[in-house]
Each structure stands twice: as structure tokens, then as C-alpha cells.
Amino acid sequence: MSKVWFITGTSTGFGRQFVEQLLQSGDKVVATARRLDAIEDFKRLAPDRVHLAQLDVTNKEQIRSIVQEAVDTFGKIDIVVNNAGYGLFGMLEEYTDEQIRKQFDVNVFGILDVIQETLPVFKRQGSGHYVNLSSFFGTWSMPPYSVYAATKFAVEGFSEAFAQEFAGFGIKTTIVEPSVYATDFFGHSMDQTEKKPEYAPLYDAYDKGMSNIKIGDPVKAVQFIISVINSDNPPLRLPVGSQAAYTIREAYTKRLEEVNAWVERTAEAD
């Protein structure tokens, strides 16, 4: 039986791959994007199994309307993929207040608003699955991604909590943690600061590190994610790509080492 997927941010990257692969497999998709002209081609793939909607995830009234459209069109929503988001690149001192607030509005409050508007649908059905796109930056951070990482840490935090809150209603939650993939993340999806010269050594170190990084294939990444989401026992957290798994494990190991180094002294504060 085909499933109904509600996906945000489908014009490029992972979002576009989700729609293309799901339509090929016979599922139904509510594909959303800020510009309808960017996703009109989906109609040619499966006109009866895709519903297109213009959606800015910072507009809660628009979210409410599109969720109702989805239910009216397909009768249900089985899986919500909170994919819409973008990166903010720069050192903390370089960010403007507007850049920081916009980053949280899209990457954090946008996801929360989609969840709040779709949760009544899932509860009525007694089933559903939230797939929240985080990043391996949701478990560690580095310059020049301090604020971007902060938004992904937030996604990890509220997703872990509400996974327990919603489980009793038959609702599953999976936090997806990809490493670096060949999407538009480093293109028009990236907002950048005006660089201050005193941070040149940090930017140089970043550029050197990026020159050695392996860029993943988004087609394979989304194939993997879909296969796990469709499995009998999908995990709460899903690292995507060997680099993500290695980096996340290394970050947790270092954190445990630091905790262990202070575990005896910290008892002084009891």
C-alpha cells in the first residue's frame, strides 16, 4: 500500500531526491517549496500521486492551509519530512542579528510549526512518522558554522523529547544526521557574512580541511534514508554516510573522555 509523504523544501538537494525517488516507487507526495515554478516538473512524473504547494515554513498560516490541502487531497499523511533549511557561514562576531534570527526561524521554528500543524492529523490516525533533517553538525560544532550548528543541536534536542511524548500515539521520530553531500548547501542555499580579516587563519584552516573532505552522493543518501524509514524498526538517530558515523562517534568519545576526566572532582559540587 502506498504511503503519503509531506515534504518541505523540495526544489533542490535532498528534498528533490525524496520526491523523485518516492514517486518512482509508487508512493504519494505532497511536495512543497517557496516557489512553485521550481517544482512544477514533478507533475510530469506522476500527476495523480503528487500535490504541489507553495510553502514558506516561516508562515504558520500557510503551513496550516497546506496541511489541510494534503489531507483533502490524499486523505491522510503517513510521513512528514522536515527538510527545509539552509546554512549560515561565518564567525559569530560577523553575524548580523537579522541573519541569526532568520536562521532559527527557518531551521528551528519552521520545523516546530510544521510539527504542531501535522500532529493533530497523526493523532487522529493513530500513526505517523516525523523525519527531521539535522546534520552531523547537530552533535558537534566548528567554525564557521556556530549558529547553523546551534539550530541543528536544537532540532536534536526537541526531537529526542517529543519522540517520547508522541510514541504513545503510535507516532515515530527519526533524526537524520547527514555529513557533506553534493547539494546546494554550499551554493545559493548558503548565507554568508562579511569576513573580518582577523579571522583569516580560521577561514584558511577551514578551507584546508574542506579540500580533503569526501563529498557524498545525495541520490545514495536519500535511497538509504527511505529504506531505513520504511524498515520495521527505524532508529531515533540516523547518521548518513560513513563520514557522519565516524565524526559523530569521535565527538561522543571526546565528550565521554572529558566527563570521565572530571567525574571525581565534579562530586564536590553535590
CB 177 within 8 A of CB 251: no
The H-or-E segment that residue 61 falls in is helix 60-74
Of residues 152, 159, 172, 199, which has the active-site annotation? 152
Q: Is the peptide bond before 239 cis (omega within 30 degrees of 0)?
A: no
Known catalytic residue: 152? yes
Of residues 95, 130, 145, 148, which has the active-site annotation? 148
The H-or-E segment that residue 155 falls in is helix 146-167
Known catalytic residue: 179? no
Known catalytic residue: 148? yes
d(CA 218, CA 254): 29
Point out which residues pair with 178 in neighbouring strands.
240
Of residues 134, 135, 159, 179, which has the active-site annotation? 134
Give the three cell numbers for residue 169. Answer: 500515539
Buried b (16+ CB within 10 A) or exposed e, 130-166: bbbbbbbbbbbeeebbbbbbbbbbbbbebbeebbeeb
Give the three cell numbers for residue 119. Answer: 500532529
Name the phi and psi angles at 121, rounded to 5. -65, -50
Enumerate the active-site residues. Answer: 134, 148, 152
